[in-house]
Structure 1
Amino acid sequence: MTAARQARGAKARLSGRRAEVLAAAWLMLKGYRILGFRLPTPLGEIDLLAQRGAVLAVIEVKQRASLDDALDAVTFDQRARLRRAAAHIVQHRTALRNTTLRLDLIALAPGRWPRHLRDAWMEGQ
């Protein structure tokens, strides 16, 4: 791997982490409690796991040039992986079993406020 490619990868990872921290702060301002940050599961990583009341939100964070690009960046396969990872978390954390599970997106774009899309993809989409 070239040094330039390694530098681009490091820059992208740092940008992604910053986006996740911004998204977590945005959610906390909206009354969510962050339960997990870059949460690994055997079925994949969850960017943010947050709870507000009886809602357990699995949050995918995407930073792109536009908010629409961020929404489009999450593929059907990725959404299915997130649902499986979320089910795994609920199954293994008894305190979360009575929550309503939701798959959300926090879309970030330069010069724009973060956009929180609740239930960003309906079941099966």
Structure 2
Amino acid sequence: MTRSRPLPDDTSSRKRAEKAGRRAEKLCQFWLRLKGYRILAIRHKSPAGEIDIIARRGNVLIAIEVKNRADHETALHAITPRQQNRIARALEAYAGKIGHAGDLRLDLMIVGKWGRIAHLGNAWQVS
């Protein structure tokens, strides 16, 4: 009688991806603080959508989407226009909630191999 290996479970790969994503977000939070950003919210959920990190630098309120991908190209294509709009709407709602009257910005941070971080400021526009 031969014993076969259990097939990889979809939930276990999802859990690994979730754990890696959380590690990437923590790394980005640390990097942002070192660069002088003030972290206001993490994994902010609103009816409009979810924002990985909300930060402030000067008078600019920034929504930061974190992608844990092996290469930049994959990370850039991982954010659809629909997702971009949801993040923008969620940031606008958050700004209204806290009474922010300054500028809004949408950034992308890519965590690649070996924890290498690329920060693309103003990656797309608030429509």
Correspondence 1:18-97 to 2 at 5 A: 18-94=23-99, 97=100
Partners of 2:76 and 2:31 in 1: CA distance? 18
State the 4+ residue runs in structure 1 displaced beyond 3 angstroms. none
Indicate whether 1:17 and 2:22 are aligned: yes
CA offsets per residue over residues 31-74 of structure 1, 9 Å max, x none? 00000001111111110000010111100000111022112211
C-alpha RMSD of the superposition: 1.6
8 A contact 1:36–1:50 mirrored in 2: yes
TM-score, normalised relative to structure 2: 0.89
Unmatched runs of 5 consecutive residues or more in structure 1: none
8 Å contact kept, 1:70–1:108:
no
Q: Helix, strand or coil for the counterpart of 2:18?
A: helix
Tell me the residue number matched to 2:12. 7
Query: Once the two structures are aligned, what percentage of the paired residues are identical?
Result: 41
Aligned length: 121
Q: For residue 113 of structure 1, report the CA deviation from its aligned partner.
A: 2.4
* Match of residue 102, structure 1, among 92, 100, 105: 105
* TM-score (normalizing by structure 1): 0.90
Deviates more, 1:36-45 or 1:64-73: 64-73
> Over alpha carbons, which structure has the higher Rg?
2
Stretches of structure 2 lacking an aligned partner (at least 5 in a row): 1-6
What's the CA shift string for 1:75-112, capped at 9, x where partnerless? 10000000110111011112xx2221000000111136
